[in-house]
Structure formats: structure tokens, C-alpha cells
């Protein structure tokens, strides 16, 4: 969402995202690498380097992104400790259907919609505050 701010010419630095969201720099590097491998962002190095979206945000469906980032997350852990019902459990299939309904619902949203009013304006204000604090 922060990268969808089109009112800026330079890509967003990891330092800026870390500062805005109090997120550890090292964690953000991993997130950016992951999103880069999915083809969603492009990172450039150097003095005016940073991260930018690689895809039109109207074409990024939230369900798709979540599926790719979290798709291997299970709602219940059948393996540890090994569940006595494992392999003969109808609940597992029901929960998988529920998860699929969640992803389908999230696919109705695209990234561009997530920065409609008031979110987009808030992001622009945050960016201006960051620039002002730096100078």
C-alpha cells in the first residue's frame, strides 16, 4: 500500500518503510526479496535506489498475494503433536474450504482500492512528514 503512492518520483527506501511502520530493517529486506520473487516489486540499488511496485496496483488481487505469501499456513496443526484423527479427519477439509472462501473474498479487492480515500491521503501525509523530518 505504501508503494502505491504515485505522488513521488523516487522509489521508496526500506529505511522509510522501517521508520513509518516501526518494522525491523532486516525483516523488511526479507519481505522485499519475497515480493520481488513474486514479481510484485522491483528493488534498485544506489543513491536514489529503493523499492517500487512492478505491477499496476489495479491488477494486484489481494487474495492472490495472500495465497502466495500465506498459502502454506494451515489453520490447524495436524502434525505437531501428531493428531490421532490425522488422515481420517473431516474437519481439515472443512477448514480448507473456509480458507478458500476467505481467499476468494479477498480476490474481490485489488491493491489500488486499498489506497482509496482515506488511506492514500494518509500515506501521502506520512511521506511528507518523513521528508520534512529528514531535512
Which of 31, 43, 83, 124 is close enough to bind its own copies by CB under 8 A? 83
Encode burial over 93-110: b for 16+ CB neighbours within 10 A, e otherwise: eeeeeebeeebeeeeeeb
Bridge partners of 52? Answer: 42
Q: Which residue has the cell 529486506?
A: 29
Q: Write out the three cell numbers for 61.
A: 488481487
Fill in the per-residue mask, 34 to 73: x = in contact with its own copies (CB under 8 A), - = not in contact. ----------------------------xx----------
Q: Count CB atoms within 10 A of the CB of residue 3.
A: 22
Fill in the per-residue mask, 11 to 30: x = in contact with its own copies (CB under 8 A), - = not in contact. ---------xxx--------
d(CA 82, CA 70): 22
Which of 118, 132, 133, 134 is close enough to bind its own copies by CB under 8 A? 118
At closest approach, how far in Å is the CB of 23 from its own copies?
Answer: 8
| Residue 83 per-residue DSSP state | P
Which residue, 38 or 126, is less far from its own copies as judged by CB? 126
- Half-sphere exposure (Cβ direction) of 28: Cα atoms closer than 13 Å: 18
Which of 15, 55, 91, 131 is close enough to bind its own copies by CB under 8 A? 91
Which residue, 52 or 103, is less far from its own copies as judged by CB? 103
Residues at the site binding its own copies, with contacts judged by CB under 8 A: 1, 20-22, 62-63, 81, 83-85, 88-91, 94-95, 97-106, 109, 113-116, 118-119, 121-123, 126
Amino acid at each position: 500500500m505504501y508503494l502505491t503512492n504515485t505522488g513521488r518520483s523516487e522509489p521508496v527506501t526500506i529505511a522509510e518503510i522501517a521508520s513509518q511502520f516501526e518494522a525491523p530493517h532486516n525483516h523488511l529486506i526479507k519481505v522485499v526479496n519475497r515480493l520481488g520473487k513474486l514479481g510484485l516489486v522491483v528493488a534498485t540499488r544506489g543513491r536514489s535506489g529503493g523499492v517500487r511496485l512492478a505491477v499496476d496496483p489495479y491488477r494486484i488481487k489481494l487474495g492472490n498475494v495472500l495465497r502466495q505469501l500465506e498459502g502454506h499456513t494451515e489453520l490447524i496443526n495436524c502434525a505437531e503433536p501428531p493428531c490421532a484423527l490425522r488422515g481420517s479427519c473431516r474437519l481439515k477439509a472443512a477448514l480448507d474450504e473456509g480458507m478458500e472462501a476467505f481467499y476468494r473474498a479477498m480476490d474481490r479487492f485489488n491493491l489500488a482500492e486499498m489506497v482509496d480515500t482515506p488511506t492514500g491521503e494518509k500515506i501521502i501525509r506520512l511521506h511528507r512528514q518523513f521528508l520534512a523530518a529528514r531535512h
